[in-house]
Amino acid sequence: MLDAIYRGARGRISTLAAGLDADQLRVPVPATPGWTVHDVLAHLVGGAADLAAARLDGAPGESWTARHVAERRTRPVAELLDEWAAAAPAVEADLVGQKFVGANLAADAVCHEADLHEALGLPRTDRDHWQPLLEVMGNLPGRRLRDTATLLIHDELGRQWRCGTGEAVITLRADGYELLRGLFTRRSRRQIAAWDWSPAPSAQLLEGFGAFGHRDDDQPIPAA
């Protein structure tokens, strides 16, 4: 499944990138401070090329991703897309049969696809593209709660996740797209706190909600 998710995301991002002009490629991406649209594309291509070449020292840390951008900062989009297409079969082969239990290039591509849409003022990405990741990531907050509380998460389609094992029950009702973006640390603590919680979440829960810690810079929220 992850190989198909990656293949679809790469195709959509490639189509989007190929149609962007120079100004759009220079647009800052709020979800990835310091990076432009071109830089995000360079990272996606670099990650695939590194996996294909077994060049994974430092992955998935900041020095690894920064190198992707630095090595490709001046390269045109067409060249980047050609490099990505050449590396993609190795990535897809690596993802075949993998379960979504940690960092992988399929989740990275889906997350960054939404980053690009939000930066460029485009509508949110289609639910079919990210729903399989939400099914798994909806359980993530339970790892932080442990036995202190139980968090019941409901999305707008009635899907439910039960996280934690404590007696105190906290209920969260959230839009699925927004929920996934928060779990990817793409929403600030203030934005997450503004969701429909009962009772209000603790500071500890807000800080540990996202997979990559917390953030304090509010992010653009695209139209549904």
User: How would you write the chain as a 3-class SS string?
Assistant: CHHHHHHHHHHHHHHHHHCCCHHHHCCECCCCCCCEHHHHHHHHHHHHHHHHCCCCCCCCCHHHHHHHHHHHCCCCHHHHHHHHHHHHHHHHHHHCCCCCCCCCHHHHHHHHHHHHHHHCCCCCCCHHHHHHHHHHHCCCHHHHHCCCCEEEEECCCCCEEEEECCCCEEEEECCHHHHHHHHCCCCCHHHHHCCEEECCCCHHHHHCCCCCCCCCCCCCCCCC
Number of structural domains the chain divides into? 2
pLDDT-derived band at 22 (thresholds 50, 70, 90) equals very high
Clarify whether residues 62 and 165 are in a common domain. Answer: no
Please indicate, yes or no, if residue 35 is contained in any of the structural domains: yes
Clarify whether residues 80 and 146 are in a common domain. Answer: no
**pLDDT on residue 20:** 98
**pLDDT on residue 31:** 97
Res. 58: pLDDT tops 80: no
Domain around 161:
138-207
Clarify whether residues 33 and 112 are in a common domain. Answer: yes
Clarify whether residues 161 and 76 are in a common domain. Answer: no
Please indicate, yes or no, if residue 167 is contained in any of the structural domains: yes
Clarify whether residues 106 and 161 are in a common domain. Answer: no
Clarify whether residues 115 and 156 are in a common domain. Answer: no
Dump pLDDT digits (tens) for 180-220.
999 999 999 999 999 999 999 989 889 989 999 899 999 99
**pLDDT on residue 146:** 67
Please indicate, yes or no, if residue 219 is contained in any of the structural domains: no
Clarify whether residues 16 and 85 are in a common domain. Answer: yes
Res. 166: pLDDT tops 90: no
Q: What is the pTM of this model?
A: 0.94
